[in-house]
Amino acid sequence: MSSTSGEIFKITTFGESHGPGVGVVVEGIPGGLVLDVERIQQELTRRRPGQNYLTTPRKEEDRLEILSGLYEGRTLGTPLTIFVTNTNQRSTDYADLETIYRPSHADYTYEIKYGYRTPHGGGRASVRETIGRVAAGAIAAQILEAELGVQAIAYVASIGPVLLPEDILPESRMQVDESLVRCPDASTSAEMIKHIEKIKKEGDSTGGTIKVIVRGVPPGLGDPVFSKLEADLARACLSIPACKGFESGSGFAGTLLRGSEHNDPFVPREEGKPPLLSTTSNRSGGIQGGISNGMPITLRLAFKPTATIHQEQMSVNTRGEAVRFLAGGRHDPCVLPRAVPIVEAAVHLTLIDAFFRQRAVHPDWYRRFRKTDGR
């Protein structure tokens, strides 16, 4: 169903942007794990609004509270619940919206679906819902890194027409975070910032693309057919608000190549039964037949421009009458930089579930690919 995801490492998010708060229940965390809570908080802070002058002026501390599953810093193996109180609810800003279906928002579809909705904007459609995923993803990331050495790094690859050159790849999350717009190149970042400033001044908004590179993924994750790694990653990414496109490996550009150009030649990497292989190119994006092949997983995501703008628009009110309106309230001209930790969380959550499913059935595989014997 809607708010639950994962089969073994399973999360359930809850909360509206204008209720008491938002949170997540995480099942399937191993017991006895020393949890780095500060690292979870860091990811929430990377995601929170009001980080700098470019984003929405909505300022929220987004301090997490742990309601269950932890005792003296170690996980109990039971559901771990994280809750973040909403501290900045300016519902008066939204008074007018009660009667207007804002264009390209979820106001109308929620009302048709449920027959009822909270008038204050998004409810569950708000990007605030992603807090739960980011928190859960930060737990998944700790386990994946310790057990397998997996690390996903997302970064902004374009904002509107401003593109990061294809050949620039970030080496670390720190490198990404050095940029205000989370683009791992100083000069492209500067251009992107300039673009956002302009858009903001005009009361408009912009979209862009985010790329992801996941290093350290062992071969063998993902299942044939409906749980192909690409399929599950696509589902996780397209469940992020404003995401409208997904590519794995060569993606749409790959459709222009011939098979002889697109195939990734194998070369030997490590002896064994079976031997480990590398490929000399990576148009498969680290996934073949829906299963990881040990090369870096590469993804690219499209985010549409934010629907909230400070310009007069046409729409319809709840009585069915055409109206003109000008949205007040806070407004984020570009969500891309804040979406980076959300995308990483989506990727980590997908990978840990694939990992646990594989380990459940194939312990020999785990013996071969776990990073250390120490756990």
76-115 positions binding its own copies, by CB under 8 A: 76-81, 83, 101, 103-106, 108-115
Binding range to its own copies, per CB under 8 A, among 47-55, 73-81, 167-175, 177-185: 73-81
Site string for its own copies, 21-60 (x = CB under 8 A): xxx-x-xxxxxx----------------------------
Could you say whether residue 254 binds its own copies (CB under 8 A)?
yes
How many CB atoms are closer than 10 A to CB 221? Answer: 29
Q: Residue 253 and residue 24: Cα distance in Å, rounded?
A: 37
**CB of residue 75 to its own copies, shortest distance in Å:** 7
Q: How far is Cα 162 from Cα 363, in angstroms, rounded to an integer?
A: 47
Residue selected from 137, 184, 207, 341 as contacting its own copies according to rule CB under 8 A: 207
- Distance, CA of 137 to chain centre: 9
Kind plus residue range of the DSSP H or E element containing 359? helix 336-361
Q: What is the C-alpha to C-alpha distance for residues 346 and 337, in angstroms, rounded to an integer?
A: 15
Rg of the chain, C-alpha, whole Å: 21
Query: Are the CB atoms for 307 and 355 separated by under 8 Å?
Result: no
Check residue 343 for interaction with its own copies (CB under 8 A).
no
Cα gap 161→239, rounded to integer Å? 24
Instruction: State in angstroms the smallest separation of the CB of 148 from its own copies.
Output: 12
Given 89, 177, 216, 365, the residue binding its own copies (CB under 8 A): 365
Six-digit token string for 152: 């996903």
Binding mask 283-312 for its own copies (x = CB under 8 A): xxx--xxxxxxx-------xxxxxxxx-x-
Q: How far is the CB of 95 from its own copies (least distance, A)?
A: 14
Q: Do 136 and 11 form a contact (C-beta atoms < 8 A)?
A: yes
Question: Residues 101, 318: contact at Cβ < 8 Å?
Answer: yes
| 142: contact with its own copies by CB under 8 A | no
Minimum Å gap between C-beta 170 and its own copies is 20
My answer on whether omega of the bond before 30 falls inside 30° of 0, hence cis, is no
Q: Of 36-44, 164-172, 180-188, 365-373, which part binds its own copies (CB under 8 A)?
A: 365-373
User: Which amino acid is residue 123, in one-letter code?
Assistant: G
Q: In this complex, which beta carbon is closest to its own copies, that of residue 118 or of residue 178?
A: 118
Q: Which of 153, 140, 155 is nearest to 349 (CA)?
A: 140
Task: State which of positions 152-191 bind its own copies (CB under 8 A).
Answer: 158, 160-161
Binding of its own copies by 121 (CB under 8 A): no
Smallest distance, its own copies to C-beta of residue 350, A = 11
CB nearer to its own copies: pick between 44 and 178: 44
Judge whether 54 and 193 are in contact, CB under 8 Å: yes
**Which stretch, 51-59, 174-182, 186-194, 278-286, contacts its own copies (CB under 8 A)?**
278-286
